[in-house]
């Protein structure tokens, strides 16, 4: 298979490709006269090694029901061991058509209506519906902004755990704040959960999008006892731009928990997956590492450019520099706008489609989330439009 150097500067026309980010921007944001920087997918070509794998499979012109072969599982096991120092067993790996479905299935499998579930706000907003839509009680454990980084509040967490919470759902690395949880932070959280028997759901979909010198540590890798109380969700979709293939993995070491999750998965009849998602996942984890390193180098340069632009031209907007992810949490409080006016300002004055911070729950007030996974010229244009709009305030 051909391996070509990636041109991340290439500007691709995505309108008309049936993608939410561009083709549904008016439906969701109310205007299509925007630079879309909201949905967490990338404006870069999916790695050629993956596309070649899919094209090769299309040469066999029968698209019947798929099965996941051993290569699907071994690629995940090898990736986690080689890049995250986590030894995953074959039997621990289960399928889900996405991380969000996996979190919802975990809520159904391991809690009952009325049970309290902790989330750490501000956080990826589908966590809220995963709790509330199934009749569970949403309990906030707000993160604290300290020295430009979102941090866990362990005292509050323990109080909520002691009050009877059955589960905590965490984003690791964190979306939207970009925090890469340290070993010490994860251990302190896990100690609390072990003490009060709180099941931990760790969404690690951004785990391969970590900037130097930070290091992602899988929660379940800390110890056998922590692993036995942890449900880990993974997907190649963010790292390799595969979100449209609806393929993720759920890793559960405890056989009792695994059986409970499997029962929900089987009852919903959504465990089959699709041919192309299975093959793309295997190709990504088998051949995608060098591409992912090139991606992170490019994203790092985009971050540097954005930091310099804001510092020199837009000091009223503060960037919470992410330790991971291609999402930037922007503190816009100094603009002096309430949340409705702030959203309106970005959309109608700056002509930018971002996610309002209030979508991510308490702690999101006065923030906006911006996706930098785009060619530098697009990011430059967006920042210039933002600068011009701020000048008119």
Domain boundaries, the chain: 20-47+289-391, 62-287
Q: Does domain 62-287 have CATH number 3.40.640.10?
A: yes
What pLDDT shows up at residue 31? 86
Neighbouring C-alpha atoms within 13 Å toward the C-beta of 387: 14
| C-alpha dist (Å) from residue 239 to 23, 47, 336 | 22, 10, 35
Residue 6 has what pLDDT?
87
Pairing of strands 230-234, 248-251: antiparallel
Dihedrals phi, psi of 141, to nearest 5 degrees: -120, 85
Rounded CA-CA distance 103/105 in Å is 5
pLDDT of residue 4: 55
Looking at residue 240, what is its pLDDT? Answer: 98
How far is Cα 167 from Cα 117, in angstroms, rounded to an integer? 5
| pTM (two decimals) | 0.96
Structure tokens at 276: 């192309």
Q: Which residues contact 355 (CB under 8 A, 6 or more apart)?
A: 38, 176, 368, 369
What pLDDT sits at residue 1?
Answer: 42
Chain-centroid distance of CA 313 in Å reads 30
Report in angstroms the alpha-carbon separations of 257 from 118, 152, 260: 19, 26, 5
Measured distance CA(137)–CA(140) in Å, rounded: 10
Instruction: Show the tokens assigned to 7.
Output: 């041109």
Question: Between 3.40.1180.10, 3.30.365.10, 3.90.1150.10, 3.60.15.10, what CATH number should domain 20-47+289-391 receive?
Answer: 3.90.1150.10
Residue 122: is the preceding peptide bond cis (ω within 30°)?
yes
Render each residue's pLDDT in the chain as its tens digit; 393 residues.
445 578 999 999 999 999 999 999 999 998 889 999 999 999 999 999 999 999 999 999 999 999 999 999 999 999 999 999 999 999 999 999 999 999 999 999 999 999 999 999 999 999 999 999 999 999 999 999 999 999 999 999 999 999 999 999 999 999 999 999 999 999 999 999 999 999 999 999 999 999 999 999 999 999 999 999 999 999 999 999 999 999 999 999 999 999 999 999 999 999 999 999 999 999 999 999 999 999 999 999 999 999 999 999 999 999 999 999 999 999 999 999 999 999 999 999 999 999 999 999 999 999 999 999 999 999 999 999 999 999 999
Residue 368 and residue 335 in contact, taking contact as beta carbons nearer than 8 Å: no
Residue 151: beta bridge partners? Answer: 144
């Amino acid at each position: 298979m051909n391996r070509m150097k990636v041109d991340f500067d290439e500007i691709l026309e995505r309108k008309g490709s049936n993608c939410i980010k561009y083709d549904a921007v008016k439906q969701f944001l109310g205007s299509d006269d925007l630079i879309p920087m909201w949905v967490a997918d990338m404006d870069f070509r999916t790695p050629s090694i993956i596309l070649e794998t899919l094209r090769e499979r299309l040469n066999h012109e029968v698209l019947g029901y798929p099965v996941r072969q051993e290569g699907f599982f071994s690629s995940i096991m090898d990736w986690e061991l080689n890049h995250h120092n986590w030894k995953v067993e074959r039997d621990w790996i289960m399928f889900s058509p996405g991380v969000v479905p996996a979190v919802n299935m975990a809520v159904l499998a391991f809690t009952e209506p009325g049970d309290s579930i902790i989330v750490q706000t501000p956080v990826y907003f589908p966590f809220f519906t995963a709790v509330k839509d199934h009749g569970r009680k949403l309990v906030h454990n707000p993160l604290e902004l300290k020295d430009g980084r979102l941090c866990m509040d362990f005292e509050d967490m323990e109080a909520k755990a002691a009050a009877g919470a059955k589960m905590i759902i965490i984003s690791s690395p964190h979306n939207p704040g970009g925090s890469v949880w340290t070993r010490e932070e994860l251990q302190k959280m896990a100690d609390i959960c072990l003490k009060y028997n709180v099941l931990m759901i760790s969404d690690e979909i951004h785990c391969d999008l970590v900037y130097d010198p930070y290091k992602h540590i899988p929660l379940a890798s800390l110890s056998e006892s922590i692993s036995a109380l942890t449900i880990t969700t993974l997907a190649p979709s963010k790292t390799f731009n595969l979100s449209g293939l609806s393929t993720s993995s759920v890793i559960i070491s405890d056989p009792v928990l695994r059986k409970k999750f499997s029962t929900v998965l089987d009852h919903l009849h959504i465990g089959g997956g699709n041919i192309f998602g299975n093959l793309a996942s295997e190709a990504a984890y088998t051949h995608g590492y060098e591409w992912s390193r090139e991606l992170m180098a490019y994203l790092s340069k985009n971050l540097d450019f954005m930091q310099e632009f804001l510092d020199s031209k837009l000091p009223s907007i503060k960037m919470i520099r992410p330790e991971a992810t291609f999402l930037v949490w922007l503190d816009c409080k100094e603009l002096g706008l309430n949340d409705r006016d702030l959203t309106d300002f970005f959309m109608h004055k700056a002509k930018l489609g971002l996610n309002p911070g209030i979508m991510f729950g308490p702690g999101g007030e006065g923030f906006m989330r911006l996706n930098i996974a785009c060619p530098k010229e697009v990011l430059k244009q967006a920042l210039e439009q933002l600068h011009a709009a701020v000048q008119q305030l």
